[in-house]
Homo-oligomer: A and B are copies of this chain.
Amino acid sequence: MTDTGKREVTRSDVAKHARVSTAVVSYVVNNGPRPVAKATRERVLASMETLGYRPNAAARALRLQRATAVGLVVPDVSNTYFGALARAVSNRAFDAGYALLLGDSDNDIDREAAQIDSLVGRQVDGLIVISLDPTATMDVGRTPTVYLDRRTAADQAVILPDNYAGARMAVEHLLQHGRQRIGHLAGPEGGPGADERLQGWEDTVRAAGQADALSFVERAEFTRRGGYEAGRRLLKNPDRAPDALFVSSDVQALGLLRAAREAGVRVPEDLAVISFDGTEDAAYSDSPLTSIEQPVEEIAAAALAAVLTDPFVPVHERVDVRLVTRASCGCHSYA
């Protein structure tokens, strides 16, 4: 605690101390919009330093009608994928001078709406939402908003990792490994990316003439526990079980792997697995997970650009995902 004075030091304290007007202080702080003589600038800078001046962001926000902050709403930051995304957004935003307001919707649709409402009221300059509901209309007022993994609507900005193509890639890869009964451990209905991934799996399996594998499907939350429980259901009956599984997220796959271990099902020998997300989780599990990797940095950059750079054009940006092979599909032996 540096000083114990009563009031924060304001711009007018600095002006007085540097014997200039408040306008000049403002010009110095913001590097414009008017030029300031070198000597004056230095005097002001010195005064700011000695007084320990710190601009008041609320006043600035009120005046400018913008908070220089972006909001991010995710279903659960403790999910590795959302965590990685939050990190990427936070770091990029900070480098661009923006603060990050984080809203965790705790996988609750009402809470999501409340979080959005709160962030909009805080005049964020942009809002990035990973919604639990693919279609609900949010009231975001005039706040530039971009959705991730959301069903396309003409008047909304959306970043769309190519879930469908990713799912196809995964299933096709499993087919190349000669798998005959490729099931799916799906995400929750309407959950971000979940339905597209499910559709991609279904279409590809059907096209491969393995329509009877279509019964090997279970929905689960995007959590380890969800994956574990769905995995148990999927592997319950040894006589009638899938020989491969496309899993809708890395965290679920972690749960599935545990279920497989407990059931004595070997991965990839008895059960080949490919998951979705491609977080660090995938590289360190046993077996290491072959996964459809989402380009987190690219997504973060695109989302930020959508709300900050092109605030009012409803961009629909597709982003490519890619298959990263490890051991769980049968490609690599250990390591």
Contacts and interface: CB of A to CB of B under 8 A. Distances in A.
A80 to B, nearest CB: 7
A122 interface: yes
A84 interface: yes
Contacts of A41: none
A1 to B, nearest CB: 6
Interface centre among A65, A224, A258 (most CB of B within 10 A): A258
A259 B96 CA distance: 38
Interface string A294-335: 000000000000000000000000000000000000000011
Interface stretch (A16-24, A135-143, A169-177, A234-242): A135-143
A241 to B, nearest CB: 19
Contact of A141 (B54, B62, B69, B155): B54
A261 B280 CA distance: 17
Interface string A1-14: 11100001000000
B334 A261 contact: yes
A258 B280 contact: no
25 contacts: A1-B140, A2-B139, A3-B141, A8-B142, A52-B141, A54-B121, A57-B67, A57-B122, A57-B123, A58-B59, A58-B61, A59-B62, A78-B279, A87-B104, A94-B118, A99-B119, A99-B122, A224-B283, A255-B284, A258-B284, A258-B286, A261-B286, A262-B334, A285-B286, A286-B286
Interface centre among A1, A101, A288 (most CB of B within 10 A): A1
Nearest to A86: B77
A121 B57 contact: yes
A55 to B, nearest CB: 6
Nearest to A256: B284
Contact of A101 (B54, B77, B99, B335): B99
A163 interface: no
A90 B67 CA distance: 20
A107 to B, nearest CB: 11
Given A2-B139, A141-B52, A280 B86 contact: no
Contacts of A111: 94
A99 B83 contact: no
Contact of A90 (B8, B90, B102, B140): B102
A31 interface: no
